[in-house]
Amino acid sequence: MAVYSNNPIPMTKPDYQPYQNSEDMKFICIGRNYAEHAKELGNEVPDEPVIFIKPKSALLQTNSPFYYPEFTNELHYECEVVLRISKNGKYLQERTASKYYDAISVGIDFTARDIQAELKKKGLPWEKAKAWDNSAVLGKWAPIPANFDKNNVQFSMKKNGELVQTGHTKDMIHNFDKIIAHVSNYFSLNIGDVIFTGTPAGVGECVVGDELEGFLGNDSMFKLTIQ
């Protein structure tokens, strides 16, 4: 049975794969893609995808510890569905965008919220708040099946065993294919790139000692402890 939804469709259980680092990969991240999350941070709901980039150095390597960064006093988790780009592409059409990603997982876009708040006040970019080393956590990859329903993906995250975030892709403002098509107008997509598709409501602070666990449907995809 599929693990992407609590109302699963029949299929073979995915052969989960660890993330394989690509030499030239980048993280393309979408902000404010769930209306309730935009509202909880006091942001307007955007008409088009809000894009920011994390470099390759943002990846927390598999089985590496995550250390609370010394430059922030307010570290927030943002759990998201992530997609793995499987073909090079540019200026893609929404109707063919699904051919350019082949696996799905969940991850964390760690954010130094205090730094982001100061940058937003000054109208400055967010990189210092979001693109620092090890700020991107990726779970195991689940290959996308032929009968994949992109609008029926449920995901969640627990902090210290308590549910803190739940999301469903039907609530996205911009779906996977619209994101891919829009992003490709500005950035070439390359094999190994990762798309963070936006976080739902429920983001919050984490501290040293907290254990975070992300789920795709009912399956655990990552677990880490803040050190």
Residue 12 lies in a domain: no
Residue 218 lies in a domain: yes
CA 69, chain centre distance (Å): 20
Checking if the pLDDT of 12 tops 50, the result is no
Q: In what order do the strands lie in the sheet with 211-216?
A: 162-168, 154-159, 211-216, 219-225
Range of the domain at 83: 27-225
Looking up residue 212, the CATH number of its domain turns out to be: 3.90.850.10
What is the pLDDT confidence band of residue 8, given thresholds at 50, 70 and 90?
A: very low
SS3 label, residue 112: strand
Q: What is the pTM of this model?
A: 0.89
Residue 4 lies in a domain: no
- CA–CA separation, 87 and 90 (whole Å): 10
Report the number of distinct structural domains present in the chain: 1
Residue 162 lies in a domain: yes
- CA–CA separation, 1 and 90 (whole Å): 34
Residue 129 lies in a domain: yes
Average pLDDT over residues 198-213: 96
Cβ(152)–Cβ(5) under 8 Å? yes
Residue 18 lies in a domain: no
158-196 pLDDT per residue, tens: 999 999 999 999 999 999 999 999 999 999 999 999 999
Average pLDDT value over all residues in the chain:
90
Amino acid at 140: K
Residue 118 lies in a domain: yes
- CA–CA separation, 172 and 93 (whole Å): 19
Residue 1 lies in a domain: no
22-79 pLDDT per residue, tens: 667 999 999 989 987 656 667 677 788 999 999 999 999 988 999 999 999 999 999 9
Instruction: Give the number of other CB atoms < 10 A from CB of residue 4.
Output: 27
Residue 135 backbone phi and psi in degrees, to 5 = -85, -5
- CA–CA separation, 168 and 58 (whole Å): 26
